Amino acid sequence: MAKQRNDYENSWFPRLQRWLAGGSSALNDHMVEGLKAPSDAHRLISEQTLAQRESEQEAHLQEVQSREAVLYERAHDWGRTRGMRLVRALYAVAAMALCVAVIWVLLTTVAGLPSFGGQNNPINNEVSQRYIERGLQETGAVNIVAGMILDYRAFDTLGESHVLFIAACAVMILLRLSDSGDENQLSRERLEAEANDRLYEPKHDIILQRVAGMLVPIILLFGIYVILNGHLGPGGGFSGGAVMGAGLILYLNAYGFAATERFFTIKTFKAVSFGALAFYALAKAYSFFCGANHLDSGIGLGVPGRIFSSGLILYLNIAVGLVVACTMYAFYTLFRKGDM
């Protein structure tokens, strides 16, 4: 009994029969037909409108690209114009707010300051009272300011002198002509610097020389007076040294480097600065090691008002004055020709 099949037409025996009869299976026919029709259609279309399709695709691609470009441009544009405008506006507002805040803080602080010279100001404490009442006995300096900065707080002044010296060293590192090159190049550089300097400088200006000849001794004398008189009246090492440095600079401007190099070269600068700073450090840096305790210098305080009084203050003033004068002059010469 043969098994009844639902798709008897497509089973292998009738397909073989049909194949032998010269036909093809119904399924194959169907499939071939299904494959044939689109391939024909495709061939027909490609033959007729291949170029048109390609151009259409190209146009579509271009359109998409241009749309993307527009989108990108818009996004970019936002960052460039509107975004920047927004950021700028925010920046201006923030800057205004910061300015107003700072002004407000400063004004409120100034308004809250104690009145000038008031009795209950915080500066009128036991420290200044002690300085004023016992400064003369303890330091021997008539000028209380000198007594403060060179006796009570001499260690601070040591740091300040070293700040000046370090500044001169830094300028030297930056501006001094290199010593490392060979001799020819060094001398050539120096000659160029000198020539460049001479270009703008009226040499042997008779008016300047006469005026400087009159003024420089007075200025140097005044500087020495201010230094030596530091513990007796207004002045001291720093201001006197600055005055002396200015006098040296005036002398240099009038008479040129040839005149000043007779007594002031880089060796002089090194020796004087090192000597003065070393003396100061030896005289006062012990307080760094003894916990800021005061030690007697061994030099008597003397009679207040005399030039040889107030212990170490006079000598410290001289040291500071020498350092400051050398530093000022070194600044000027290094700025001008890169050497001393």
Partner 1 sequence: MPILNIMLLVFILVCAVAVSMTKDLLTSVIIFMCQSLAMSVIWILLESPDLAITEAAVGAGVTSLLMFVTLKKIHAIKGERDDGEAKE
Applying CB under 8 A, the residues found at the interface with partner 1 are 143, 145, 199-200, 226, 233-236, 238-240, 242-243, 245-246, 249, 328, 331-332, 335-336
From the CB of 101, what's the least distance to partner 1, in Å?
A: 23
What angle (nearest 5°) sits at the alpha carbon of residue 148, between those of residues 142 and 151? 95
Nearest CA to 250 out of 262, 259, 263 is that of 259
**Burial per residue of 317-337, b for 16 or more beta-carbon CB atoms within 10 angstroms, e otherwise:** bbbbbbbbbbbbbbbbbbebb
User: Quick one: tokens of 38?
Assistant: 């689109």
Q: What is the 3-state secondary structure (H, E, C) of 48-98?
A: HHHHHHHHHHHHHHHHHHHHHHHHHHHHHHHHHHHHHHHHHHHHHHHHHHH
Nearest CA to 321 out of 120, 164, 124 is that of 164
From the CB of 227, what's the least distance to partner 1, in Å?
A: 11
What angle (nearest 5°) sits at the alpha carbon of residue 38, between those of residues 32 and 43? 115
Nearer to partner 1, 235 or 311 (CB): 235
Q: Which residues contact 153 (CB under 8 A, 6 or more apart)?
A: none
Write the CA distances from 340 to 90, 124, 181, 252, 328, integer angstroms: 53, 47, 18, 11, 12
Nearer to partner 1, 135 or 236 (CB): 236
From the CB of 175, what's the least distance to partner 1, in Å?
A: 10
From the CB of 249, what's the least distance to partner 1, in Å?
A: 6
User: Quick one: tokens of 260?
Assistant: 């000043």
From the CB of 192, what's the least distance to partner 1, in Å?
A: 11
Nearer to partner 1, 319 or 334 (CB): 334
From the CB of 273, what's the least distance to partner 1, in Å?
A: 17
In whole angstroms, give the CA distance from residue 96 to residue 185: 55
In whole angstroms, give the CA distance from residue 176 to residue 333: 10
From the CB of 201, what's the least distance to partner 1, in Å?
A: 8
Nearer to partner 1, 143 or 309 (CB): 143
Nearer to partner 1, 200 or 263 (CB): 200
Nearer to partner 1, 231 or 284 (CB): 231
Nearer to partner 1, 140 or 237 (CB): 237
